[in-house]
C-alpha cells in the first residue's frame, strides 16, 4: 500500500510578497529614532544625508549579493543553507542558534515592547507593557500558524500601512513650517575632529537601520520560482527602503535643521507636532505602533523557516521540522519563535541581549558574502553558472567593498563595547558546545530518518 504523502511547504509567495518582506524586515521603529543619533555624530546636513546615502549603497550591494546567492542556491532556509553548503554545518547551526536566542527573537521582543509603550498614549488604556507585548507576539504567532498565505497577507497589509504612514510623515516634512533654529549647546559625539571620522562613526547606526535584507531568503521553500522571485523582490524592496530613509531624513532636516535634529530623541514626533500640535503626538504613536506590528509579523513569517530547515537537516529538535498537513507551515517552529520572543519580552532583557551580539550578526552576513566567492568558484565553467538569472553587478569589487564596510562596523563595535563582545562570544561558544553534543544525540534525527 502506498505511503501517505508527507506534508510539505507550499510555494505561494510572489515578487510582491518578497518585496514587502524586505521592507518589513528592515523598517521597524529605528527610523523614528536613528536620524537624531546619526545627526549627533555627523553634525552637518551634508554629512547626515551622505551617511544615509552611503548606507543605502552598501545595503543595495548586500541585497545584490543575497539575490545572487538565492539565484545560485535556491535552498530551503536561504542564509542558513548558504553557510552550510559553502563552509560547514556548524556555522549554519550557530547562525540558527543566535537567531533563535538573540538576533530575531530579541529584536522582535524589542519591537513588541516599543508597540506596548506607544499603546497607552494612543488609546488611553493603561496595560502593562510586558503583558501587551506578549499578547501581540502571541497574536501574530497564531496567524502565521494558519498558513503562509495568511501570514504573508497580514504582514503585507501592515507593511503597506507602514509605508503609507512614512509617506505621510515625508509629505508633512516638506510642507510644514520649519521650527526656529535651536540654540541650546549639543554634546557632540567624539569623532576625533575630522569630517571623515564623524562620517565613519555615523555609519554605525545607519548600517543597523538598513539591516534585514537577508530575511527574504529564509522563505525560499515557499517562494514561486525562487531563483528569479527572490532577487527581484530583494532589489525592489531595498529600493523602497532607501527612498523612504533618505526622504524621511530630508524631511526631518527641513523642519528641524541639523541642530534641532541633534537635540531631539523623537524627530518624527517633532516634525508632526510642528504641523499638527498635540495631535501630532497621537499620529506618530499610531505610526510607530503600525511599524512595530509589521516588524513582528515579518519576523514570525520568515525566521521559523530556518529552524524548520535545521531540524530537517538533523541539527535541531525533529519536531521543528514537522509541517501541519492542513496549513502546510512548520507550526512547531513558528510557536517556538513566538515563545522565546515572549519570554525575552517578559524578562525585560531584550535590549541588553541585542547589544551583546549585534556585531556577530554582521559577522555572519560577511561570511555569506564570502560564500558568494565560494559558489562562483565551484560553478565556474559549468552550465549552472551560465544560467544564473541574477549576478551581483561589479563583483568582485562591490562584494569586497561590502565586506570592508561590514568589517569596519564589526571592529568598531568590538572596540567600543568590548564587554558586550565578550558576552556575545560566550553565547556563540555555548552554541558550538551544543552543536558538538547534538551531533552525537539520538534526538537530532529529523522526521523520516532511520
For 223, phi and psi rounded to 5 degrees? -105, 135
| Residue 171 placed within a domain | yes
Q: How many domains does the chain have?
A: 1
**201 bridge partner residues:** none
Residue labelled with grid coordinates 553558472 = 385
| Residue 9 placed within a domain | no
**13 bridge partner residues:** 223
Half-sphere exposure of 175 (CA within 13 A, CB side): 8
C-alpha cell at 414: 568590538
| Residue 10 placed within a domain | no
| Residue 150 placed within a domain | yes
- Rounded Cα gap, residues 265 and 275, in angstroms: 18
| C-alpha triplet 415, 419, 48: angle, nearest 5° | 45
| Residue 3 placed within a domain | no
| Residue 47 placed within a domain | yes
Calculated CA dihedral for residues 36, 37, 40, 46, nearest 10 degrees: -70
Report the residue count for the chain.
450
Q: How many Å separate Cα 345 from the centre of its chain?
A: 18
Q: What is the reported pLDDT for 370?
A: 97
- Rounded Cα gap, residues 322 and 446, in angstroms: 9
For 13, phi and psi rounded to 5 degrees? -90, 140
| Residue 1 placed within a domain | no
Burial class from Cβ neighbours inside 10 Å (0-12, 13-18, 19+) for residue 135 reads middle
**Structural domain of residue 197, as residue ranges?**
15-444
| Residue 249 placed within a domain | yes
CA distances to 51, 82, 86, 378, 449 from 374, rounded to whole Å, are: 31, 10, 6, 6, 30
Angle between helices 279-302 and 148-175 (to 10 degrees): 150
CATH number of residue 144's parent domain: 1.20.1740.10
Angle between helices 79-86 and 304-312 (to 10 degrees): 40
- Rounded Cα gap, residues 130 and 115, in angstroms: 10
- Rounded Cα gap, residues 219 and 74, in angstroms: 10
Q: What is the pTM of this model?
A: 0.90
The candidate with the shortest Cα–Cα distance to 218, out of 76, 13, 383, is 76
Q: What is the reported pLDDT for 417?
A: 74
Residue-level pLDDT, tens digit, the chain, 450 residues: 445 556 778 889 999 999 999 999 999 877 888 898 899 888 889 999 999 999 999 999 999 999 999 999 999 899 999 999 999 999 999 999 999 988 899 889 988 998 888 887 788 788 888 999 999 999 999 999 999 999 999 999 999 999 998 999 999 999 988 887 654 444 454 445 577 777 878 888 898 889 899 999 999 999 999 999 999 999 999 999 999 999 999 999 999 999 889 988 888 888 988 888 878 878 888 888 889 999 999 999 999 999 999 999 988 888 999 999 999 999 999 999 999 999 999 987 776 676 666 678 899 999 999 999 999 999 998 888 888 999 999 999 999 999 999 998 888 778 777 887 788 888 899 999 999 888 877 655 544 443
Q: What is the reported pLDDT for 351?
A: 66
Half-sphere exposure of 189 (CA within 13 A, CB side): 23
Amino acid at each position: 500500500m502506498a505511503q501517505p504523502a508527507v506534508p510539505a511547504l507550499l510555494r505561494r509567495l510572489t515578487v510582491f510578497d518578497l518585496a514587502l518582506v524586505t521592507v518589513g524586515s528592515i523598517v521597524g521603529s529605528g527610523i523614528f529614532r536613528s536620524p537624531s543619533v546619526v545627526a549627533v555624530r555627523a553634525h552637518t546636513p551634508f554629512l547626515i544625508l551622505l551617511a544615509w546615502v552611503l548606507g543605502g549603497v552598501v545595503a543595495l550591494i548586500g541585497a545584490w549579493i543575497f539575490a545572487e546567492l538565492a539565484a545560485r542556491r535556491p535552498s530551503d532556509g536561504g542564509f542558513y543553507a548558504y553557510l552550510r553548503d559553502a563552509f560547514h554545518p556548524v556555522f549554519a547551526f550557530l547562525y540558527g542558534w543566535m537567531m533563535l536566542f538573540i538576533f530575531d527573537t530579541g529584536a522582535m521582543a524589542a519591537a513588541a515592547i516599543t508597540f506596548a509603550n506607544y499603546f497607552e498614549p494612543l488609546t488611553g488604556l493603561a496595560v502593562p507593557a510586558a503583558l501587551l507585548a506578549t499578547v501581540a507576539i502571541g497574536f501574530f504567532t497564531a496567524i502565521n500558524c494558519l498558513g503562509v498565505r495568511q501570514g504573508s497577507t497580514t504582514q503585507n497589509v501592515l507593511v503597506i500601512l507602514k509605508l503609507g504612514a512614512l509617506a505621510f510623515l515625508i509629505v508633512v516634512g516638506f510642507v510644514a513650517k520649519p521650527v526656529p533654529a535651536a540654540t541650546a549647546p549639543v554634546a557632540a559625539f567624539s569623532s576625533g575632529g575630522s569630517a571623515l571620522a564623524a562620517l565613519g562613526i555615523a555609519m554605525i547606526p545607519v548600517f543597523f537601520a538598513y539591516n534585514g535584507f537577508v530575511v527574504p531568503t529564509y522563505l525560499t521553500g515557499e517562494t514561486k520560482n525562487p531563483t528569479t522571485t527572490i532577487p527581484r523582490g530583494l532589489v525592489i524592496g531595498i529600493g523602497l527602503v532607501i527612498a523612504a530613509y533618505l526622504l524621511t531624513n530630508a524631511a526631518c532636516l527641513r523642519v528641524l535643521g541639523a541642530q534641532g535634529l541633534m537635540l531631539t530623541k523623537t524627530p518624527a514626533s517633532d516634525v508632526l507636532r510642528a504641523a499638527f500640535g498635540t495631535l501630532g503626538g497621537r499620529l506618530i504613536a499610531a505610526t510607530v505602533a503600525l511599524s512595530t506590528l509589521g516588524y513582528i509579523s515579518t519576523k514570525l513569517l520568515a525566521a521559523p523557516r530556518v529552524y524548520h530547515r535545521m531540524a530537517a537537516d538533523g541539527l535541531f529538535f525533529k519536531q521543528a521540522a514537522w509541517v501541519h498537513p492542513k496549513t502546510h507551515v512548520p507550526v512547531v517552529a513558528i510557536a517556538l519563535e513566538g515563545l522565546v520572543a515572549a519570554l525575552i519580552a517578559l524578562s525585560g532583557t531584550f535590549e541588553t541581549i541585542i547589544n551583546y551580539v549585534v556585531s556577530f550578526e554582521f559577522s555572519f552576513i560577511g561570511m555569506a558574502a564570502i560564500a558568494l566567492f565560494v559558489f562562483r568558484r565551484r560553478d565556474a565553467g559549468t552550465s549552472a553558472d551560465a544560467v544564473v538569472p541574477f549576478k551581483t553587478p561589479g563583483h568582485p569589487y562591490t562584494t569586497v567593498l561590502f565586506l570592508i564596510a561590514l568589517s569596519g562596523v564589526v571592529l568598531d563595535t568590538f572596540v567600543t563595547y568590548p564587554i558586550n563582545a565578550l558576552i556575545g562570544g560566550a553565547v556563540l561558544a555555548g552554541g558550538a558546545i551544543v552543536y558538538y553534543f547534538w551531533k552525537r544525540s539520538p534526538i537530532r534525527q529529523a522526521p523520516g530518518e532511520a
